[in-house]
């Protein structure tokens, strides 16, 4: 008889795991706190506009290919490569720098900014490429059973990369480029990992290779939420049952096994196997009540920045914006060093702007654009009070208006603001942290909360705060890793 699996949460990691397991004969049921599937990869529909709520781009698109292929399903997603991949605007320079995949075109953008850019970038990307291919199968795509097992796997990474563990990304970039602009632009990836380029090891320069050369950034035709819609459809076709507005709050156990989980209304949910897609660290503390994940211990961990997001439907087209745009100031080091821990909203914020209607016109009424603004801010440990959210949104919108020469206030048809408190309350993101646990060397691999529970043999984890880490492709890999664990313990059905 097929084994029954209960998955807590319907984020990307959960949906991908459900598809893998249901395609292999497991019977899967999913319980979700929010009113619809997707977790952070969600959608906001308002006043005729459709916004992707969180993720707006991804690299390593072949991880989605692998997911569908492994389930014998043709890939239902229509992906289009973006080029330029993104644009960057500095406060002290009117013209944006467009980041192209083509190295010659990219070099033209750096004319007058960075001498011999092409040669330098080629060398930087080559080193990043070697690092990526020498580590991805050893470190990212493997389960390991102990710290020793992990360290043994690490010994297979060529020694020549080891200085990059001890050098910062900023130092590596400073050794390569003279200009502040090139250093800043190619260090932005450090923030996705939950730190600054001054504290992130240079090993992570491999992300620049995945962004620019290996795979690039992709637009999903129809918007990012198509990923969720397709996964939900395919899961439903395979008999997976979804239950929304259901939050798991406690557990019932006997010895080394979970008997059931209990939701906030007291309803009991039973299965043979349980998988939590809720944050792998916070869930151990809040629901399993583990001492090692008490609030104090969770607060002592390193977390990625929290999102402050604005969704703006505007009348008219905005020619000065691309699909992805970064708006940066002119005090990068100072900003990067203070943004993680400040208790006040930044006066001159750095932010990211996405206009998905540029590539997906159906996401906005005719002649309009949907603008999504993401400003990374301190998590709720450092800034718990968001009563200034309207003022802060105005600061960002005023700055953006000045920099694109359009008074956004005059053309706005709809506006929604989400603070870190909203993100925390909607999806149980710990302290509102947007990408989950950070990726310092003390919180990756065997030092990240494991995808197999340390005490209960029928409990597993999938998602951003377990292995291998955060971001859409990593979470898809996470679903593969947890499936391998389950197949190892319960066999292929
Ligand atoms: C604003 C923002 C922008 C981002 N941009 C990008 C991007 O451009 N590219 C990229 O690759 N990544 C991006 N990310 C990161 C990416 O969204 C995440 O890494 C990924 O979506 C996490 O998926 P997950 O499987 O961990 O599930 P989650 O998205 O965390 O979903 C978990 C689900 O579990 C539910 N849940 C939690 N606890 C319970 C409970 N106790 N009971 C029931 N349900 C529960 C939650 O409501 C949620 O629906 C972004 C994140 C944010 C917040």
Does the structure show a pLDDT above 80 at 384?
A: yes
> Same structural domain for residues 240 and 210?
no
> Same structural domain for residues 208 and 229?
no
Lowest mean pLDDT among 84-88, 154-158, 272-276: 154-158
Question: Which of 94, 124, 130 has the alpha carbon at shortest distance from 107?
Answer: 124
> Same structural domain for residues 168 and 233?
no
Does the structure show a pLDDT above 90 at 449?
A: yes
pLDDT category, 2, cuts 50, 70, 90? confident
315 occurs within a structural domain: no
424 occurs within a structural domain: no
110 occurs within a structural domain: yes
pLDDT category, 135, cuts 50, 70, 90? confident
476 occurs within a structural domain: yes
Does the structure show a pLDDT above 90 at 155?
A: no
Determine the average pLDDT of the residues in 420-436: 98
> Same structural domain for residues 31 and 116?
no
Using a cut of 0.85, tell me whether the model's pTM lies above it. yes
Number of domain units in the chain: 2
275 occurs within a structural domain: yes
> Same structural domain for residues 107 and 39?
no
Nearest ligand 1 atom to alpha carbon 37: 49
> How much distance in Å is there from the Cα of 437 to the middle of ligand 1?
12
Residue 199 CB–ligand 1 contact under 6 Å: no
Residue 372 CB–ligand 1 contact under 6 Å: no
84 occurs within a structural domain: no
CATH of the domain at 24: 3.50.50.60
Please give the pLDDT value at position 193: 83
Please give the pLDDT value at position 153: 86
Give the residue numbers spanning the domain of 106.
Answer: 102-215
Please give the pLDDT value at position 17: 98
Determine the average pLDDT of the residues in 472-479: 97
| Closest Cα to atom 41 of ligand 1 | 248
Does the structure show a pLDDT above 70 at 493?
A: no
327 occurs within a structural domain: no
420 occurs within a structural domain: no
Among 146, 181, 215, identify where a domain stops.
215
> Same structural domain for residues 70 and 146?
no
| Closest Cα to atom 48 of ligand 1 | 39
Percent of the chain with pLDDT over 70: 99
> How much distance in Å is there from the Cα of 58 to the middle of ligand 1?
14
> Same structural domain for residues 113 and 65?
no
> How much distance in Å is there from the Cα of 57 to the middle of ligand 1?
14
Beta strands 4-8 and 273-276: pairing type? parallel
Determine the average pLDDT of the residues in 244-255: 96
Q: What is the mean pLDDT of the chain?
A: 94
> Same structural domain for residues 107 and 11?
no
Among 215, 245, 279, identify where a domain stops.
215
Does the structure show a pLDDT above 70 at 358?
A: yes
Choice from 32, 55, 82 to test ligand 1 binding pocket (greatest atom count within 8 A of CB): 55
Among 180, 215, 250, identify where a domain stops.
215
> Same structural domain for residues 227 and 266?
yes
> Same structural domain for residues 70 and 126?
no
> Same structural domain for residues 159 and 133?
yes
CATH of the domain at 176: 1.10.405
> Same structural domain for residues 197 and 173?
yes
Residue 219 CB–ligand 1 contact under 6 Å: no
Determine the average pLDDT of the residues in 160-188: 92
């Amino acid at each position: 008889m097929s084994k029954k699996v209960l998955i807590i949460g319907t984020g990307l990691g959960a949906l991908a795991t459900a598809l893998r397991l249901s395609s292999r004969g497991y019977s899967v049921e999913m319980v979700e706190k929010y009113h619809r599937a997707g977790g952070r990869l969600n959608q906001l529909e308002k006043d005729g506009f459709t916004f992707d709520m969180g993720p707006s781009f991804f690299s390593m698109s072949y991880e989605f290919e692998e997911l569908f292929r492994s389930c014998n399903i043709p890939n239902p997603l229509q992906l289009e490569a973006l080029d330029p991949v993104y644009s960057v605007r500095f406060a002290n320079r009117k013209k944006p720098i467009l980041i192209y995949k083509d190295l010659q075109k990219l070099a033209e953008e750096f004319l007058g900014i960075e001498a011999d850019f092409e040669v330098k970038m080629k060398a930087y990307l080559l080193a990043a490429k070697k690092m990526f291919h020498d580590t991805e199968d050893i470190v990212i795509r493997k389960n390991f059973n102990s710290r020793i097992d992990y360290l043994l796997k690490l010994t297979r990474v060529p020694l020549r990369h080891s200085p990059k563990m001890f050098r910062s990304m900023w130092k590596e970039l400073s050794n390569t480029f003279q200009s502040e602009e090139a250093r800043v632009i190619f260090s932005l990836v450090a923030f996705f990992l939950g730190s600054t380029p001054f504290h992130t090891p240079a090993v992570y320069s491999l992300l620049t290779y995945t962004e620019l050369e290996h795979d690039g950034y992709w637009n999903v035709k129809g918007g990012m939420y198509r990923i969720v819609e397709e996964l939900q459809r395919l899961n439903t076709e395979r008999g997976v049952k979804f239950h929304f507005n259901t939050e798991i709050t406690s557990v019932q156990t006997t010895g080394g096994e979970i008997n059931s989980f209990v939701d906030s209304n007291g309803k009991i949910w039973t299965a043979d196997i349980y998988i939590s897609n809720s944050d792998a660290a916070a869930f151990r503390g809040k629901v399993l009540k583990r001492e090692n994940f008490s609030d104090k211990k969770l607060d002592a961990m390193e977390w990625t920045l929290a999102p402050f997001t604005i969704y703006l439907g505007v009348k008219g087209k905005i020619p000065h914006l691309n699909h992805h745009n970064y708006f940066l100031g002119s005090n990068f080091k100072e900003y990067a060093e203070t943004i993680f821990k400040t208790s006040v909203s930044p006066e001159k914020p750095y932010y990211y702007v996405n206009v998905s209607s540029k590539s997906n016109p159906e996401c906005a009424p005719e002649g309009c654009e949907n603008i999504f603004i993401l400003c990374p801010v301190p998590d709720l440990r450092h800034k718990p009070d968001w009563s200034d959210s309207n003022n802060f949104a105005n600061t960002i919108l005023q700055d953006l208006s000045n920099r694109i020469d359009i008074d956004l206030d005059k053309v706005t048809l709809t506006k929604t603001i989400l603070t870190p408190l909203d993100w925390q309350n909607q999806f149980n993101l710990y302290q509102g942290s947007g990408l989950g646990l950070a990726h310092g060397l003390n919180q990756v691999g065997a030092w990240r909360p494991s995808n197999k529970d340390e005490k209960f043999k029928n409990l597993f984890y999938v998602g951003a705060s377990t292995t291998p880490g955060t971001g859409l492709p990593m979470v898809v890999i996470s679903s593969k890793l947890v499936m391998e664990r389950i197949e190892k313990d319960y066999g292929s059905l």
